[in-house]
Chains A and B, each alone.
Chain A
Amino acid sequence: MSGKPLFVLVSSGEHEKLHIAAMLASVAAVSDRPVEVFVSMNAIFAFAKDIEPRQRYKGGAFSKLLLERRAPDTLQLLQQGRELGQLKIHACSMALDLLGWTVDNLVTDLFDGDLGLTRFLSDAEAGDLVTF
């Protein structure tokens, strides 16, 4: 039986916040909770196609530790959540519009498409919403 849906709004470009959001989303998804992730604002840059991890992630002391040690990669965690659980990821349509980007500018096979905030907020009434 599925648990209460979890909605995760990620707007920070800070690696540490992206990483804990990815941990939360992926573990919830493999624990029988449907999860929807909405990526907006500075967070969208971490999902740009064809960049190296050291360019992708901007952060402080913990970001350095995550990259130096064998911590799972942030985007890979989200990918695992998609493969092993019920996890969907949406790019904020406003953020894409402002950048002049489409979903094709983002890493492949991770996003379920773009979505407006109104729809995300409406869907989130069915569950818990957390923001990073």
Chain B
Amino acid sequence: MMAERRKIDARGAFCPGPLMEMIATLKLSQVGDEIEVWSSDKGSSKDIPEWVAKVGHELVSNEERDGYWSIVVKKLK
């Protein structure tokens, strides 16, 4: 099956909302799928990469855009 990229627009939500939304989506995804989270919460732009490193997924990118962050995570297990 082809890997997918799912997008979550969590702009306006505060910590740990974007992280929890991402984890919920990750649980429903297949290994190899990517989740792109948009978050306007600065704390989440740091917390999501910390969580990804701790539990063993891959941080593909973390970019600041116009008033929000785009964080892409790849499911590895």
Residues of A within 8 A of B (CB): 23, 26-27, 30-32, 69-72, 77, 80, 83-84
Counting chain B residues whose Cβ lies within 8 A of the other chain, the interface size class is 10 to 19
B55 CB–A CB distance under 8 Å: yes
Distance of A38 Cα from B27 Cα, bound (Å): 27
User: Do B12 and A84 touch across chains, with their CB atoms under 8 A apart?
Assistant: no
B17 CB–A CB distance under 8 Å: yes
Please pick, from A31, A70, A77, the residue contacting B51 in the complex, using a CB distance under 8 A: A31
Selecting from B18-26, B29-37, B64-72, the interface stretch reads B18-26
Please pick, from A26, A32, A69, A70, the residue contacting B20 in the complex, using a CB distance under 8 A: A26
B17: chain A residues at CB < 8 Å are 70-72
- The tally of CB-CB contacts under 8 A between chains A and B is 38
User: Do B16 and A70 touch across chains, with their CB atoms under 8 A apart?
Assistant: no
Interface of B is mostly: helix
User: Do B55 and A69 touch across chains, with their CB atoms under 8 A apart?
Assistant: no
User: Do B55 and A72 touch across chains, with their CB atoms under 8 A apart?
Assistant: no
Please pick, from B15, B23, B54, the residue contacting A84 in the complex, using a CB distance under 8 A: B23
User: Do A72 and B13 touch across chains, with their CB atoms under 8 A apart?
Assistant: yes
Min CB gap A8→B, angstroms: 15
Distance of A70 Cα from B27 Cα, bound (Å): 24
| Closest 5 pairs (CB-CB, A-B) | A71-B14, A72-B17, A80-B20, A30-B23, A84-B23
User: Do B54 and A72 touch across chains, with their CB atoms under 8 A apart?
Assistant: no
Give the residue name and chain of the B residue nearest to A65 (CB).
B14
